[in-house]
Each structure stands twice: as C-alpha cells, then as structure tokens.
Structure 1
Amino acid sequence: MKRSFVALMAFTLLIAIIGFSAHLVVLEINDTHGHAWPYGNYGGFAAIATIVNQVRSEAQANGWDFLFLHAGDVNTGVPESDMLYARPDILALDMMGLNAMTIGNHEFDHPWSVLSRQMAWADFPFLSANIVYKGTDKTVGQPYLIENFPDLKVAILGLTTKTTEYIGNPEYVKGYDFLSPDEVAQKYVPMLQKMVGPDGIVIALTHLGIFGYSEQTVAGTPGAVETAEKLDPPNNPYGGSVSLAQSVSGIAAIFDGHSHTAVTSPFNVNGTLIVQAGSYSKYIARLDLIVENGHVATYTYKLITVSKDIKPNEAIQDLLTAYQIVGSGKLNEPIGYSKVNFANEKDSTRKADTLIGHLITDAVAWKFKDMGVQAVLMNGGGIRAPIPAGTITYKTVLTVLPFGNTVVILKIKGSDLLKAIQWGGVYHPEDTGARLNEWGLTYTVTPNGVENILLDGKPIDPDAIYTVATNDYMANGGDNYSMLKNAQQYNTGYVLADVVKEYIEHISPIESYPFTPRWTEVK
C-alpha cells in the first residue's frame, strides 16, 4: 500500500512538472451558401459527411478530441436551399454532428422569424458574442460554447463582422447592434480563459474575413501575413480576423469565414493561427493542435478538397435528394433560350460594366417604363452568377438573383442621386458589392472620382426630382447607399428575379444582345 502511494505521488509530481498534452482535431467549413448538393467537381454535404466521419473515427481510435465547426453564411446561393430557408442544409449538418456555427452576415438575408426558425431546427448552437438586440446587452445568438473533453477544455467564441450593419438587408438588421469584434473579444477571452483553466484553450469561430485575400487561395507566408496586417490593423471596429489576432492575446486559433479565402497553410498572427476553408463546400480545413499546459505546442494542417469522387454518405445523400425533388419541378421549367452568354466571371459585376448587368437593369427599365423610370441602380454584389448560353430556367435566374429583393421606385433629389453615383461608381475593395450596375446613366470614373455624369444625355440638376428604380436593399441604405433613404419610396412588391424572368420570357429567344458601354474608367 505504501509503495502504491509513493508511486501515485511521484506520478502526480511528474504531471505537475511536465503537464498533460492533448490532441485536438478541428474540421471547419464556411460560406457554404446553400451548396449542400454536388456541383461541378465538388461533392457537396454528402461527401463532406464521409470526410467528417472518417476523421471523427480516426480521432476516436487514437483517443484524440474532435470538433466540427461552420464559420457562417449557410444561407443564399442555391435555389433548392433558398426556397426552403436552408432547412435541408441545417438538417444535414445536424446529422453530421456539427458542434457549432457562427452567425454570418447572410443569416440576415431574411427576417428574424426565419433566423429564429433556423436556430430551432438546429441541434447545434448559432454563436455570436457581438450581435445584440438594439439598445440591450442581450446577444442574438449564443456568445460562446464550452466543450469539455476528458483531457481538455475548449472555449469557442463566436464573432460576426460588424460590416453586417450596412451590407446586411437594412430592413432585417435594424433591430440589432453590431459591436466591434475586437472590443467584445477583449472582454470575453480573459473570462473564457478562466473558465477553461490553465490547461484549456480558447479558439474563435468567426465570420470576419482575411483582408486582401478575398476569393483567393493563399498560403500564410510571412509576406502574406505582413500584407494582411497592414490592410487590417489592430483595434479596427470593422476589421477582420487578422485585426482580431493583433488586438487580442490568448486565442489559440481562429476558424474564419466571410472572405471565401482558401488557406493552404495557416496565417500566424501574434501567436494565433488563422485558417479558412474557401467557400461553397469546396474544401474542409483540418487543423490538429497538440496542446500542452494551455498552449499550442505544435500543429499540423491540411486543406482537404471535397471532390465529387469521394463516396457520398448515403444517409445525407438521401435526405438532400428528398429536399431537392421538392423544389426541382418549378425551378427547372424553361423560361427562355439564349445564344448569348451573359458572363459574370470572378464576380465581374462588382468591378466592371457587364452585359449581365445591362440585362438586369434593362429588365427593370422595361417593366416599369410606364411609371416614368429615368434611371435604374443595382449593386453588383447582388448579381451572384452568370446566365450561360442555352436553355434558361427559373432556377438559373434565382441563382443569379438569390436574395428575394423587390423593386422600389424612388422620387429622389438630384443632389442625392449624384451622391449615390459618386459612391457606387467607384470601386471599393472593402465594399465590393456596392459598385453600380445601371441603366439610363453615363459617366467616367477617374482617380479623382466620378465625372461627366449624364442622365439621358443631360447633366443632373441637383435641385430637380428624378424617378429612379432600385432594389429594396439599396433603397434601405444597404452597401452604404444611405443617401437613397432620403427619397420618397414606393415598393412595387415585384421580386427582382421575377421581373428578370418576365423580361427573358418577353425577349426570348435571345439571338443577340449588343453591348454599348455605359461608363468608362480612367486608371
């Protein structure tokens, strides 16, 4: 007995000296945007489920700890999902055993009634510590989650980009305050460190983005880190994950979303690892952390491609197939035919004067010509896909215009219209969705701003009243078009996608669609 007691004391002393080590495996997806089904070369959620189950089994066999996380934006992008408010996506994530999801900005594409329903469908928590009901300190989602493993405590802090207050639909975000992620994390991280104890760790599940690397595949080299740190300095209220890492110590790793960045090796900023798994269910980020005495001693990382060649999980596949059948009938009905390819490569409507931008604004001008519309304003970020040559279906149009926006007629003062053009005519790297796609206007974009602005070939009178059509998102101040809120507004109730559908039916078959530039840019 005495010998056993001495051995136990020796073992306890050894633990005190060297501490325990734990192996934590984290799988992350983000910005799936309705891409639950296979498409192109990618296998969708059924293939993701296969990978998740394999890695979970590997972790269990080795006695490792395991987490599966989603960094936000489950909504908006695929009609079969959009029509059902992402119910199939959420149920599939439930079946896969998702531990938590951060609230993304696109979770505000619908009213609160939809978001609350989505939270009720999910067996996992929706996290965000920096979104509170307006005028209160009550968070909309769960601020954090504590996972208690036998050998490790992990605190998961949820954070959402503050830019949601102006890139989210103003009608749906007006009831909330979006606080600075950095300031909120500075409050929560020390508290969470105490909760997990000296041997535990704090990680962040964020929808903030990596500035400078939107829609890119990038390795976290020292040069890339330096660039990101300059673009996203510390204590930036509207900052991304790099600002967070520079501003707050004590976060072991940030599992990020929002910028659709495929990170091939982690960014190491202020001792915090930052990873992100691209978008649209193309990748899974796998980060293995070896934790000793509350610190990451070492790590391994892999960005896994979700190939269509991966054998799909049958249960997930059956669930999603059933939901796909529900919406496929109406969606796949032909509405027209085009010999013209209305391209939108690399989100060109956010940057350039495009043929598809012309098509959409032409449709609005055609539909509302009897209301005396003199100009049409549309934000490039609202145009999400191309219309390829060939048969056009309702699903095609909904993929291009997935937000359910309605057309609003403005009676707007010339001075406010000029402000809108001055704002939307130029390219904003951090507000790329704001760039105008328009009808009825011509202008020149210069390094000094927008010049030579003409409406129907004539200068705009700052004191005159003009009739302008836009979408309800912009009319309510979305993408920082706050000047449009000054106008007298009439919401037609017509959904923009349905207006474009009707126009395509009217002009089909589309044999040609000549392109005449509506604005030029001097660089």
Structure 2
Amino acid sequence: MPATSPTDQQRRRRRTNRLLALAAGATAVGALTAAAALPASAGESHQPGGHFPGRYQDVQLLSFNDLHGNLEPPSGSSGRVTELQPDGTTKTIDAGGVEYLATHLRKAREGEKYSITAAGGDMVGASPLISGLFHDEPTIEALNELDLDVTSVGNHEFDEGARELSRLQNGGCHPTDGCYTDTEFQGADFPYLAANVLDEKTKKPILKPYWVWKKKDVKVGFIGVTLEGTPDIVSADGVKGLVFKDEVETINKYAKVLQKQGVKSIVALIHEGGFPASTAYNYDCDAPGAGDGISGPIADIAKNITPQVDALVTGHTHAAYVCTIPDPSGKPRMVTSAASFGRLYTDTTLTYDRWTGDIARTAVKSANHVVTRDVPKAPDMTELIGKWNTLAAPIGNRAIGYISADIPNTGTESPMGDLIADAQLAHGKELDPRTDLALMNPGGVRAGLTYAAKGSEGDGVVTFAEGFTVQPFANTVNLQDFTGAQLIQVLKEQVSGSNAAAPKILQVSSGLTYTLDLTKTGADRVVTDSIRLNGAAIDPSATYRVATNSFLAGGGDGFPTLAQGTNDLVGSDDLTALEKYLTANSSPTTPIAPPKADRITVVR
C-alpha cells in the first residue's frame, strides 16, 4: 500500500488540536479512583442501545526514543536490530530511516480512533550531517510530519543549550547562521516536556512539565523528564544556568498535579533506561518474573514512581525492551524502550475506563516492532530528505579518507574508538611533540565507518558527512599534563564512582595497554600492574601529556580527575583532527585498515 502524506491543512489542524489539548490539561477537574479488572467485553464496547460509548476504550500509544536526527537509514550495525528466533538463535534485520518509520507508524494508526504518538527524548543532538549541519531543524520538520504528539527532553536536547532548545520548540531562524531556506523555521508542532529541568534563578521548569491529550471524554496526561545526571554527560555550556531534579520526585509531584486536575490516566516519558539481559528486541524481560530480565537505573526508578502513573516510556540506553516492572504497590506496570535511531517503534494498548477515568492496567499490552525497509517509502519524507541533502551536499560529499574494510563501533574497545584516539594523539603531537597518549569517551563515538558506498562516492571512500556522523559534537582536542598516579586514577574511574554500575571504558591510543578484569569489582577491575605505555610501566610520579576532547577535559562522563589537568593547550575540533589523520594516512591505493582493538585485554 502506498504511504500517504499529511496535507498542509491536516498539519494545521493537528497543531491546533494539540494547543487545545494543552489548554484542556490546565482546566480539567476530578479525583483518583482505582481501576477495575476488565470484563471479557472490554475494548470498543458500547452501552445497550448504542447511543452512548461503552465503559472501556482502547487507546493506542505509539512510541520511540533516541532518534538522534537519523533521518536516513543508519549504516552498519547502527542500522540493524537483533531478533530472537523460537529455536534460541538470532538473526539481524536492517532497520530504520524516517521514510520507513513514517510508513510503519501511519499503517499502525489505520483503524485506530484513539491514537497517540510519544517519544522518550534525544530526538536531536549527535545527529548526522543532514540534520546536525542545520542545527537539527530538519529533524523537527520530520517529527512534525510523523505526527509526533509529545516528547520528553533528553540530555542531547541540551547540546546547544536551553536557548537553542527553546528555538527548536518555538521556531525562528538560528541566531548565528540565520535561515537556511526562504521559509522561516516554524518550530515543533509537539510540546517538549522538561518537568525536572529548572531555571536556576526562577526555580521553574524551562519548558512545560506535562501535557494532556484529550479526545472526546478520554484524557491521558504525559509527564516528561530527563535523567538527573544530565550535567555529567553534557558540556558545561549546554546546561549553564539549569538545575536537574530527581526523576522520581518530579514525576510523583506532577502526577499529583494531574490527579487534582481530574487527569487520572498518566504516562511518564523518562529519558533514562535500563539494560536487558539480551540485546534482541523481542527478548522477554519478564522471565522468570516481572521485570527480572532488566537492570540499570530504570529498574529502581520504576519501582519508586507512584502507582498513579500507568506506564513508562523510557530511553537513553539505546536498548530495546518491553517489561512489566512492579510499582511500589507491587502491581505490574508497563516499561518500554524502542532501541534508537528509529529502528523500532513500540505499540502499547492502554485500556481507558470511562467510569474511573483511569487506565485498567490488567489489560495493558505492548510490543516492539521493527521499522523494516521492505515497505514503501513515505513520499513526504523522501522529499524532505532530498531538500536538506541538496543543501548539505557541497559540504558532505567531500572525500576525507579511504578505508579497506568496515571500522565498527562495537565492543568494549572498538576499532572506531581506537582510530579516533590515534587521530587525537597525532593532532596532539602536532600541537606539542611531548604528547604521550590520547583518551576518548565511548559515548562520543556515535557510529562506525562502512566500507560500502552510501552514495556515488565509491566503496571505501570516507566522506565528510560520514565523518560528521561519527563525531558530530564539535569538541576541541585539549592537551593537559597529569601525573602517572592521576592517569592510573582516570583509568580506574572507568569502573568506579559514578561509573561503577555502568562502566564507561575509554578508547585509548596506540601504545597504551592494560588488563580489564571483569571478574573483580569496582576500581580493582583495572589491573594497575598491567598498565603500560609503549611497553613501560606507568611511573606514578612522572608527568604525562594527555590529549582528550574538551568534554572529558572538563571532567565529563564521570571522570573528575580529568578536570584536574594542568598546562592546558586547546587545539582544533575533534572532527578536524579525524579528517587530518585520515587524509595523512590513507589514499585510494593505500586505504587505512581497521585497528585490531587489542589494546585492552578483557578478562571475563
């Protein structure tokens, strides 16, 4: 069936309806009543005579998270999902791309009289060139076309600060770069929710804390939060003047507010997530019992959020799961995440009880679905991508290097991470020949490089657009001096302190080697005696010149010792360093080979 595109009139109607729904959320009144178990006739049932709606109404909730501006199908492993087969084996499926996501969502909505589409944050930020080059205006336009109703903010919504986030919400040309087309940017048709992000001076949320969807007599409230630890993983400039509050306390606070307004059906959009025991998107994380197959921050958050909240749409960890984690009263509650990059979407059925105004949770069901590429492309998305690609082409199509095979961004130590660390070491030595090593945070490596040509550039050619996808943050490469003792402490901070529960293993430049023993706990997982630089043990009293990006140099990602460096020297941005390294070390006849990723010995 051909994909259909919304008309301008339909878009205007949607925007008006959302504004009306938002106003309704501020005026409704009522009180909380516990949901009853459903009779066999629950769903689209009607009262005798057919003149009045029935007690129960199924509401479709479609959701996704962590799109990160991936309008085009992601390449390599970033564009695949793993499916668990009945016999216990797995297979991979190519997935993602908004042309296909639009088709899948529109097909899923067919025949659904009550349908909401929501997201769990990180819609923008760390985006490929087609979006990132234009400060993510293309992604907001695509989300408008996707008929997104509401989303929480994520940490990446703050990459360019609160003022830029406000522009994405409300529209207007970029204050520095101006307008990219003849039409002024209109902003998001949907509300961004930021209940736990407060202005440091006013102590009030910088955007709306909640939003109410309403159709006829059915009302569903949404509360949106990002992780409290956002300042630890975003540049200081991005969160300047902001305060990030506890997720549970904030959601519980606004659940009471909604209850007082008569909104008893509540969904929390939380940009924080968990880690299922399997990476398969269809893994049953309720085995052997409810929520037993998932760990991480969302497990504790879900167990402490008030039972007044009926479902949680989550994100941040880029994992796929559909779990029923018990709420504080012990009642199962749906918690979902749809991986990342538009590869999956979640379809959840919320059964609304008109008598109580609440969700009958005994009837809630949910499943993740693959955004396969075997469906027709949505024509409006193809047109949108074409428009922005035309504008980006003069910059994005330029060749910056050549590779002999895929350079993946997978594993504790990834070949792509090693390549970036080597590039930053080389750039550091240009700035100061005394530079000894480079360290790269894994979260700053957004993708790998794929050997197969994405366009007409030819196999093995690395374009600027592909490099931008790998390193989109425009961090600078900074040099600092550290003692050997501090360097050892930095390596131990990968697996201790704030990184103890979810280790952040730094990608290291050539010459630095050590053993990571995962059979141990805490800082002991980094074996001190194994740390070597060019074969020599680290001398705790010696001084080492270290290259990192500006985010790490500020102590980001839970590495406070990296903020204690001395003799600072700031170089070029990290993408420039990668481009210069590829240009200097590869050619069409001598492409660069993937690093072996053998610098960290992992014991399991």
Task: For 1:69, give the aligned amino acid.
Answer: A
TM-score for both structures, normalised by structure 2: 0.74
| 1:162 aligns to 2:228 (yes or no) | yes
TM-score for both structures, normalised by structure 1: 0.85
User: Residue 175 of structure 1: which of 241, 244, 256 is its match?
Assistant: 241
**Residue number in structure 2 paired with 1:400:** 470
**Residue number in structure 2 paired with 1:326:** 391
Q: C-alpha separation between the residues in 2 aligned to 1:223 and 1:137?
A: 44
Secondary structure at the counterpart of residue 252 of structure 2: helix
Q: C-alpha separation between the residues in 1 aligned to 2:603 and 2:105?
A: 49
Secondary structure at the counterpart of residue 486 of structure 2: helix
Bigger shift: 388-397 or 35-44? Answer: 35-44
| 1:465 aligns to 2:543 (yes or no) | yes
The 8 Å contact of residues 406 and 495 in structure 1, kept in 2 or not, is answered as yes
**Residue number in structure 1 paired with 2:99:** 46
Secondary structure at the counterpart of residue 223 of structure 1: coil
Q: C-alpha separation between the residues in 1 aligned to 2:208 and 2:258?
A: 14
User: Residue 481 of structure 1: which of 559, 570, 573 is its match?
Assistant: 559
Aligned pairs for 1:117-132 within 5 A: 117-120=167-170, 121-132=187-198
The 8 Å contact of residues 157 and 165 in structure 2, kept in 1 or not, is answered as yes
**Residue number in structure 2 paired with 1:508:** 586
Task: For 1:205, give the aligned amino acid.
Answer: L
Q: C-alpha separation between the residues in 2 aligned to 1:289 and 1:516?
A: 46
Q: C-alpha separation between the residues in 1 aligned to 2:338 and 2:408?
A: 26
Q: C-alpha separation between the residues in 2 aligned to 1:516 and 1:42?
A: 27
**Residue number in structure 1 paired with 2:61:** 26
**Residue number in structure 2 paired with 1:73:** 122
The 8 Å contact of residues 197 and 242 in structure 2, kept in 1 or not, is answered as yes
The 8 Å contact of residues 426 and 450 in structure 1, kept in 2 or not, is answered as no
Q: C-alpha separation between the residues in 2 aligned to 1:241 and 1:142?
A: 26
The C-alpha deviation readout for 1:415-444, integer Å capped at 9, x for no partner, is 322211222378957444443423443333
User: Residue 412 of structure 1: which of 451, 465, 482 is its match?
Assistant: 482
How far off its partner does 1:102 sit? 0.7
| 1:145 aligns to 2:211 (yes or no) | yes
Q: C-alpha separation between the residues in 2 aligned to 1:492 and 1:161?
A: 30
**Residue number in structure 1 paired with 2:335:** 274
Q: C-alpha separation between the residues in 2 aligned to 1:369 and 1:301?
A: 53
How far off its partner does 1:158 sit? 0.6
| 1:377 aligns to 2:447 (yes or no) | no
Q: C-alpha separation between the residues in 1 aligned to 2:567 and 2:465?
A: 30
CA gap of 1:265–1:126, structure 2 versus 1, over 3 A, is same
Q: C-alpha separation between the residues in 1 aligned to 2:585 and 2:289?
A: 48
Aligned pairs for 1:61-460 within 5 A: 65-75=114-124, 76-120=126-170, 121-134=187-200, 136-197=202-263, 200-212=264-276, 216-217=280-281, 218-223=283-288, 225-227=290-292, 231-232=295-296, 239-240=297-298, 243-263=301-321, 269=327, 270-292=331-353, 293=356, 294-296=358-360, 298-344=363-409, 347-348=410-411, 351-352=412-413, 354-370=414-430, 371=432, 372-389=434-451, 390-424=460-494, 430-446=501-517, 447=520, 448=524, 449-452=526-529, 453-460=531-538
Q: C-alpha separation between the residues in 1 aligned to 2:598 and 2:96?
A: 39
Provide the aligned C-alpha RMSD in A.
3.1
Task: For 1:157, give the aligned amino acid.
Answer: I
Q: C-alpha separation between the residues in 1 aligned to 2:70 and 2:392?
A: 15
The 8 Å contact of residues 65 and 337 in structure 2, kept in 1 or not, is answered as yes
Task: For 1:152, give the aligned amino acid.
Answer: V
Q: C-alpha separation between the residues in 2 aligned to 1:123 and 1:48?
A: 18
The C-alpha deviation readout for 1:459-490, integer Å capped at 9, x for no partner, is 44444433211001101111111111112363
How far off its partner does 1:245 sit? 4.0
The 8 Å contact of residues 145 and 157 in structure 1, kept in 2 or not, is answered as yes
How far off its partner does 1:20 sit? 3.1
Unaligned runs of 5+ in 2: 1-45, 80-93, 171-186, 452-459
The 8 Å contact of residues 59 and 351 in structure 2, kept in 1 or not, is answered as yes
CA gap of 1:177–1:211, structure 2 versus 1, over 3 A, is farther
CA gap of 1:51–1:457, structure 2 versus 1, over 3 A, is closer
Bigger shift: 491-500 or 431-440? Answer: 431-440
The 8 Å contact of residues 494 and 500 in structure 2, kept in 1 or not, is answered as no
Q: C-alpha separation between the residues in 1 aligned to 2:440 and 2:223?
A: 36
CA gap of 1:340–1:201, structure 2 versus 1, over 3 A, is closer
Secondary structure at the counterpart of residue 73 of structure 2: coil
**Residue number in structure 2 paired with 1:3:** none
Unaligned runs of 5+ in 1: 1-10, 233-238
Q: C-alpha separation between the residues in 2 aligned to 1:106 and 1:519?
A: 29
Q: C-alpha separation between the residues in 2 aligned to 1:522 and 1:222?
A: 28
How far off its partner does 1:133 sit? 2.3
The C-alpha deviation readout for 1:21-71, integer Å capped at 9, x for no partner, is 2321111111111122235633522333333334445223xxxx2211111
Bigger shift: 151-160 or 114-123? Answer: 114-123
Q: C-alpha separation between the residues in 1 aligned to 2:407 and 2:581?
A: 14
Bigger shift: 99-108 or 456-465? Answer: 456-465
Percent identity among equivalent residues? 27
The C-alpha deviation readout for 1:100-130, integer Å capped at 9, x for no partner, is 1110112122233432221221121111211
Q: C-alpha separation between the residues in 1 aligned to 2:386 and 2:566?
A: 46
Secondary structure at the counterpart of residue 224 of structure 2: strand
